[in-house]
Amino acid sequence: IYVDDGSSPRSIASQLAGSQNLPFAKTDIVIDAVPTPTEIDHALAQLELMARERGNAVGLATALPATIARIAAWAKNVEGRGFVLVPITMVAVKAKSS
């Protein structure tokens, strides 16, 4: 599987994944781009909004202690808000080779 972190708007990751016949997913939001509890919570809310609008969304985060704590707190009630957390393999798609 190839997961593009979304950092480059000119990424050719999907084409590369396709040429290697790999499932592909692109990050919609970096959850801890600003690694403060308030900004992480805001990013998680944005992720939910994207998922509600499109049916799924991909978040990427580092293993910083603050990030882990905020995601753990958020994940406890995620199903009550109508969401299901799934592995990245559930949203990755086979890229079409160019």
Residue that has been written with the tokens 């086979």 in this structure: 94
Of residues 33 and 98, more confidence is placed in 33
Average pLDDT over residues 45-60: 96
Residue 9, pLDDT score? 87
Helix orientation angle between 37-54 and 65-75, rounded to the nearest 10 degrees: 50
Half-sphere exposure of 7 (CA within 13 A, CB side): 6
> Mean pLDDT for the chain?
91
Is residue 95 within 8 A of residue 18, CB to CB? The reply is yes
pLDDT tier at 98, thresholds 50, 70, 90: very low
Residue 93, pLDDT score? 82
Cα separations in angstroms, 24 against 30, 42, 47: 17, 26, 19
Residues 6+ apart with CB under 8 A from 9: none
- Tell me how far apart the alpha carbons of residues 97 and 57 are, in angstroms, rounded to a whole number: 23
Residue 86, pLDDT score? 93
Residue that has been written with the tokens 């308030």 in this structure: 38
pLDDT tier at 95, thresholds 50, 70, 90: low
Residue 97, pLDDT score? 45
